[in-house]
């Protein structure tokens, strides 16, 4: 079901529809999509800066009027919603440089599990930390379940970055490229 119908050009061949007839519209399918994610906040013993509170970031992710959840609910007309938790801060003993994002994520999972959190019930894990030498603002599996955000600020996380990278996890690529590494939060 649901193949794309070519529009053709006025007066040319294509589907033999009556002049002015509307193009076929596929009936809306019942659909809803709830994703659970954790945002884990990390910093380093050598530079233990925690510029935003867990509560503030939880508001940004889930409850503020401009939250990531609100963004997905608005843009999906309520079909997609997000729930979850924010954990941390987890202060890591490992060095802040080089950009060992995978090892940092592993350490954060170990800390969360040691605190008694069961991570198996979550669809996505977002790891976020204050700015480092990592050469990107956000990085994500496409599709997948992992997002890394380099840059927790005094205002919290850049929500454009979080929403953008979660989109990659959901399988959405850029409009004209399959790259999934971003060098700027403003990048499309």
Residue number with the smallest Cβ distance to Zn ion: 182
The window from 35-43, 72-80, 83-91, 178-186 that contacts Zn ion (CB under 5 A) reads 178-186
CB contact at 8 A, 35 and 76:
no
> Closest CB to Zn ion among 43 and 182?
182
CB atoms within 10 A of CB 120: 6
- Does position 150 bind Zn ion by CB under 5 A? no
> Closest CB to Zn ion among 42 and 162?
162
Q: Which of 115, 182, 184, 186 binds Zn ion (CB under 5 A)?
A: 182
State the nearest-atom distance from the C-beta of 122 to Zn ion, in Å: 21
The DSSP bridge partners found for residue 87 are 40
d(CA 70, CA 126): 17
Tokens of 184: 């700027």
d(CA 85, CA 55): 10
Q: What are the residues binding Zn ion (CB under 5 A)?
A: 182
């Amino acid at each position: 079901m649901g193949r794309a119908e070519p529009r053709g050009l006025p007066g040319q061949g294509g589907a033999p529809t009556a002049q002015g007839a509307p193009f076929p519209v596929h009936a809306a399918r019942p659909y809803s999509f709830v994703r659970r994610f954790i945002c884990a906040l990390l910093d380093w013993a050598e530079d233990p800066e925690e510029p935003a509170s867990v509560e503030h970031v939880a508001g940004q992710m889930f409850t503020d009027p401009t939250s990531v959840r609100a963004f997905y609910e608005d843009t999906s007309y309520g079909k997609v919603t997000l729930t979850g938790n924010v954990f941390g801060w987890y202060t890591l003993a490992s060095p802040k440089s080089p950009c060992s994002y995978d090892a940092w994520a592993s350490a954060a999972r170990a800390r969360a599990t040691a605190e008694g959190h069961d991570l198996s019930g979550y669809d996505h894990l977002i790891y976020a930390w204050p700015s480092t030498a990592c050469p990107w603002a956000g990085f994500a599996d496409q599709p997948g379940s992992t997002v890394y955000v380099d840059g927790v600020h005094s205002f919290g996380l850049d929500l454009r970055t979080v929403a953008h990278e979660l989109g990659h996890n959901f399988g959405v690529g850029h409009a004209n490229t399959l790259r999934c590494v971003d060098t700027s939060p403003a990048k499309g």
